[in-house]
Amino acid sequence: MRLTIRTKLAVLVLAVLLPLLVAAAFKFWSDLSEGRRLANQSQLEMARFVAVQLDEVLASQIENLDALASARSLDRVQDSDLDILAVRVRTQHPFMRRFVAIGVDGRVLASSGPRVAEGTFIAREDLEEFLRRSNPEVTSPGPSSMDHRQVVRLMVPVQDRQGNVVGVFGAEIDLETLGHAG
């Protein structure tokens, strides 16, 4: 069988271009894999950075609540005291939603935000568990009793001079606002 010039040229072009196509496809695939790896690494580094920043914010807010718990007795805390605290804190951290003082029975004694009809900050069983542990704590995300927005609660026990827990200072972090904070 005789090959025409057109067929010979087609075979020659295929012989030259096919290895180039294979090499280009391999290069494309390896570049794509490397790009994914770099993107994943970049996302992981950003997640670590955000986690460190969030940890610092949580630690500073727990320190605020701890200082408040050591300086005041619960029966003397007024809504206006917590309003002043909320205004000052929100200038730097607008995601801080409200601050509350809670009795061991779960009643909200003072609040920087509106009082809710049911008067709760945290579910009774969660409060009892927190009071047993008696350490500052950050809760899992859940709905706020004010308007059911997703919040994380910070809680610090208030102790009397004998070391008995007599209440809780708490705060809510609005997760939606935190997600938009820049």
The predicted-structure confidence for 83-130, as pLDDT tens digits, reads as follows 888 888 888 888 888 898 888 888 888 888 776 655 578 888 888 888
* From 18-32, 38-52, 119-133, the region with the lowest mean pLDDT: 119-133
pLDDT confidence bin for 182, thresholds 50/70/90 = low
The answer as to whether 36 is a domain residue is no
The answer as to whether 118 is a domain residue is yes
Q: Work out how many domains the chain is built from and give that number.
A: 1
pLDDT above 70: percentage of residues in the chain = 95
- The larger pLDDT score, comparing residue 97 to residue 1, is at 97
The answer as to whether 13 is a domain residue is no
CATH at 172: 3.30.450.20
The answer as to whether 91 is a domain residue is yes
The answer as to whether 31 is a domain residue is no
- Asked if 159 contacts 121 with a C-beta cutoff of 8 angstroms, the reply is no
The answer as to whether 82 is a domain residue is yes
45 pLDDT exceeds 60? yes
pLDDT at res. 77? 83
The answer as to whether 38 is a domain residue is no
The answer as to whether 95 is a domain residue is yes
Prediction pTM value: 0.68
Tell me whether residue 166 is exposed, middle or buried, using C-beta atoms within 10 angstroms of its C-beta: 0 to 12, 13 to 18, 19 or more: middle
71 pLDDT exceeds 80? no
Tell me the three-class secondary structure of 18-53, residue by residue: HHHHHHHHHHHHHHHHHHHHHHHHHHHHHHHHHHHH
> Structural domain of residue 90, as residue ranges?
48-180
